[in-house]
Amino acid sequence: MTDLNPLAELFPGISLPMPGSSMSDEEALRYARKRFPHGSYCLVRNWLWLDLDAPTEILQSLAVSKRQPAIIYADTVVYDSERRWDVGDFVRTSPLHHFADDFLFHTLNTAYLLLGPGQRKRTSIENVACII
């Protein structure tokens, strides 16, 4: 397992451990292909759930579009069904639409399968904007 501490240190504040799926990469890929045969999905490891502190206007805008002020920053893409990212790339998601089964982070366009343990932190929207 990759140490998430350097990743978490990108953002100030306390990290809380958070479980992801214990499936292997191969099991997760089979699961995703069966569960999302016509949808976009991305398998990630070494991930950080970021709860965003944002101005009221942004929070209201997210609420109107049925999204929540949370994103995933993952250090390791395992597989992306749309080939937007290569294996091993990092990814920053768009805001959370809904979370299911303790490891499926859904945005409006993609289901992200959170594999292995991760961390959860609160951070400012300005800190997130600094991620390339």
Could you tell me if residue 20 is inside a domain? Answer: yes
pLDDT digit string (tens) for 57-109? 999 999 999 999 999 999 999 999 999 999 999 999 999 999 999 999 999 99
Would you state the pLDDT for residue 1? 43
Range of the domain at 85: 12-129
**Which residues, 6+ apart, have CB-to-CB distance to 129 below 8 Å?**
none
Could you tell me if residue 2 is inside a domain? Answer: no
| Mean pLDDT on 5-33 | 85
- The backbone region for 96, taken as left when phi is positive above 0, alpha when psi lies in -120 to 50, beta otherwise, is beta
Would you state the pLDDT for residue 87? 95
Could you tell me if residue 6 is inside a domain? Answer: no
Q: Among residues 86, 72, 85, 79, which one has the least CA distance to residue 28?
A: 79
Overall domain count for the chain: 1
User: For a pLDDT cut of 90, what percent of the chain falls above it?
Assistant: 80
Radius of gyration of the chain (CA): 14
- Work out the mean pLDDT of the chain and round it to a whole number: 91
Could you tell me if residue 4 is inside a domain? Answer: no
Could you tell me if residue 37 is inside a domain? Answer: yes
Q: Label residue 4 by pLDDT band (50, 70, 90).
A: low
Handedness of CA 29, 35, 40, 45 (dihedral sign): negative
